[in-house]
Amino acid sequence: MIIQLLNRLKADKYFFTVLIILIAIAFIIVNSFLSSGNLKTKDNVVTIYYVDHISHAHRKIIDMFNQKYAGQIHVEAINLPFDKFSTNERKELLARYLKSKSDRIDVFAVDQIWVPRFAKWGAPLDKYFSKDDTGQFLEKACESCYYHDSLAALPLYIDASITIARKDILLKYPHGDKIIEELEKGITWERLIKLHSELKPPNPFYEFQAQDYEGLNCLFTELVASQDASYISGDSLNLIGNPAVKKSVQLLVDLVNKYHISPKEVTNFQENESFRHFINNNGVFVRAWPSVYGNDDKVFPGFSKIRPNLILAPNPYFEGHKQVAILGGWNLMIAKNSQKLPEAIKFLKFVASEESQKVMFEEGLYLPILKQIYQDKSFTAKYPNLKFFKEYIKHGVPRPFLSEYTAMSDVLTSYLHAAINRDISVDNALRFATQKSHFNHLLLK
């Protein structure tokens, strides 16, 4: 009965979420069109409509492009900010809009793991980008852009999950400098738990994102991968009788409920909420993405005060196993029904240029997708963090690249969230997630 109730509430949640975001996107698009003056081109200027989270860095490269192509092409941004729309909401919103076969969206951003799902709504890009072009990209950034050996997207930026720590707080403890050295090399979960027991901090020690959404599955996938294991068998979930899976889920449950290393509030957190809580409550560690570091006090009040004391470090890993980081990042796709393909191609090429990629990093700490930037000695001397990320990305592992991955992830994260909340046991979470994913798979077939 408990599981049935959880599933019913989840279904209702998605119904109202989808309804709200559809109304919101309709308003945003209509308002964008009206504010730009006319749906038709004016004075022979072709207007491209680009849907993404438009940060300050995004806005700067859009302005650069518009200035370069003034009188020819104009990019009109449709902003879906992360503080208003979760990744799950953006995914459903875009899918429903593209299903309508409208030609109003020209370029849109996708989480790299969405490419298999969105490929049917995107224009193939192979003939516009040669192997020499794609060979300039980091392999780990480019591999997510292919579907069935066809180039379906172009990388915008790459991400690799990290741990951010407060150096000033750690230095207040005995041997704080040694702890920082350990952290920068990479520490185990077992060591982190022991540190919490030894230091007994009054403030939140380790914060992560445990809301029912894709970010939780990123952490889970990372934990399983660090044990050289997988939770996917063929195109189905492999959860029952999988020791690495059970160990990973049990850790997430125990961080909150047994060791109390993480506050109970993490079950309500996505990225922005966890970082705000970390700032406001003087947290010691927080799981994050590099791009969060590129924000300012408008997004995270009080951030500028603690920024000088932050350390970027590898994520914890299980003792006796390897250090890994889950890969993230966003790719750009061109809508199949766009009537402005040549102009959209020019925009994608501009975004992938060295000039634009450097601006994205300088303005928002979005990790570049071009190899040459990591080899640019003058640029890396100016931004030493790039040297860290160049090596760290090598530890990166992708999420399963399957057309039905997002549906599997939705099922899995709902039960992971319930287990961390102690609504159900770890064993039941794995059993019910497996059963439901197999049922959904049959329906999709």
Please give the backbone phi and psi of residue 375, each rounded to the nearest 5 degrees, phi first. -100, 0
Superfamily of domain 168-326+403-444: Periplasmic binding protein-like II (3.40.190.10)
The first and second tokens of residue 4, run together, are: 């049935």
pLDDT, tens digit, for every residue of 211-221?
999 999 999 99
Q: Are 199 and 343 in contact (CB under 8 A)?
A: no
Q: Are 316 and 195 in contact (CB under 8 A)?
A: no
Query: In this predicted model, which residue has the larger pLDDT, 44 or 46?
Result: 46
Query: What integer is the mean pLDDT of 341-351?
Result: 98
Query: What integer is the mean pLDDT of 383-387?
Result: 92
The candidate with the shortest Cα–Cα distance to 134, out of 120, 121, 151, 122, is 151
Residue 19 scores a pLDDT above 50: no
Least confident of 24-38, 83-97, 167-181: 24-38
Q: Which band of pLDDT confidence, cut at 50, 70 and 90, is reported for residue 32?
A: very low
Query: What pLDDT, on the 0 to 100 scale, is given for residue 440?
Result: 56
Query: What pLDDT, on the 0 to 100 scale, is given for residue 439?
Result: 59
Query: What pLDDT, on the 0 to 100 scale, is given for residue 378?
Result: 96
The first and second tokens of residue 141, run together, are: 């950034």
Query: What pLDDT, on the 0 to 100 scale, is given for residue 89?
Result: 85
Q: Which band of pLDDT confidence, cut at 50, 70 and 90, is reported for residue 259?
A: very high
- 159: number of CA atoms within 13 Å, CB side? 26
From 3.30.70.580, 3.40.50.2300, 2.130.10.10, 3.40.190.10, which CATH number describes the 2-160+329-397 domain?
A: 3.40.190.10
| 2-160+329-397 matches 168-326+403-444 in fold | yes
Query: In this predicted model, which residue has the larger pLDDT, 393 or 34?
Result: 393
Query: What integer is the mean pLDDT of 42-62?
Result: 92
Q: Which band of pLDDT confidence, cut at 50, 70 and 90, is reported for residue 402?
A: confident
Angle at 230 (CA atoms; ends 227, 234), nearest 5 degrees: 165
Residue 330 scores a pLDDT above 80: yes
pLDDT, tens digit, for every residue of 126-174?
999 999 999 999 999 999 999 999 999 999 999 999 999 999 999 999 9
Query: What integer is the mean pLDDT of 212-232?
Result: 95
Q: Which band of pLDDT confidence, cut at 50, 70 and 90, is reported for residue 322?
A: very high
What are the residue boundaries of the structural domains of the chain, listed by start?
2-160+329-397, 168-326+403-444
Which helix (DSSP H) or strand (DSSP E) does residue 331 occupy? strand 325-334
- Buried b vs exposed e over 202-222: b needs ≥16 C-beta within 10 Å? eebbbbbbbbbbbbbbbbbbb
Residue 445 scores a pLDDT above 70: no
Please give the backbone phi and psi of residue 147, each rounded to the nearest 5 degrees, phi first. -140, 125
Query: In this predicted model, which residue has the larger pLDDT, 34 or 353?
Result: 353
Which helix (DSSP H) or strand (DSSP E) does residue 310 occupy? strand 310-313
pLDDT, tens digit, for every residue of 260-311?
999 999 999 999 999 999 999 999 999 999 888 878 888 899 999 999 999 9
Query: What pLDDT, on the 0 to 100 scale, is given for residue 34?
Result: 34
Query: What pLDDT, on the 0 to 100 scale, is given for residue 40?
Result: 44
Query: What pLDDT, on the 0 to 100 scale, is given for residue 84?
Result: 83
Query: What pLDDT, on the 0 to 100 scale, is given for residue 235?
Result: 74
- 201: number of CA atoms within 13 Å, CB side? 27
Q: Which band of pLDDT confidence, cut at 50, 70 and 90, is reported for residue 42?
A: low
pLDDT, tens digit, for every residue of 184-213?
999 999 999 999 999 999 999 999 999 999
Phi-psi region of 389 (alpha: psi -120 to 50; beta: other; left: phi over 0): alpha
Mean pLDDT of the chain: 88
Q: Which band of pLDDT confidence, cut at 50, 70 and 90, is reported for residue 374?
A: very high
